[in-house]
Amino acid sequence: MLNHQIRTLRLVRGMSQVELARRLGVTKQSVSNWENDNIQPSIEMLKKLADIFSVSTDYLLGLEKEEFIDVSGLPPGVVTHLRQVVEDFRILKKEAEEKKK
């Protein structure tokens, strides 16, 4: 599960293994080994991965299904706007699903 989460989050964000490795201070081989489920990242690396991808460690481990967006440090108006954008996308998704029926 962890290996798939790392690979998926990296690809969705358009990052190469080299770029992720550089941001974590590890080798590309380490990232490759994690993604191929040859070895597991340390707890310290797990925390760094969660920070880089703005998800919880529980999400990385498959214990939590929802992804979150870290809005800490943003002004309240921006946070409100982001919440509205997310809600608008939920409505669009629901409408698209209803049209398929």
Task: List the chain domain ranges.
Answer: 2-60, 71-101
pLDDT at 90: 86
* CATH tag, 2-60: 1.10.260.40
Token pair, residue 72, equals 């800490």
What does the pLDDT look like over 4-38, one tens digit per residue?
Answer: 999 999 998 899 999 999 999 999 999 999 999 99
What does the pLDDT look like over 40-82, one tens digit per residue?
Answer: 999 999 999 999 998 889 989 989 877 667 788 889 999 899 9
pLDDT at 101: 79
Give dist(CA 70, CA 4) in Å, integer: 21
Average pLDDT, the chain: 91
pTM above 0.85, yes or no: no
pLDDT at 65: 74
Give the CA-trace dihedral at 85, 88, 89, 92, to 10 degrees. Answer: -160
Give the CA-trace dihedral at 52, 56, 57, 62, to 10 degrees. Answer: -120
> Within 10 A of 45 (CB to CB), how many other CB atoms are there?
17
pLDDT at 52: 92
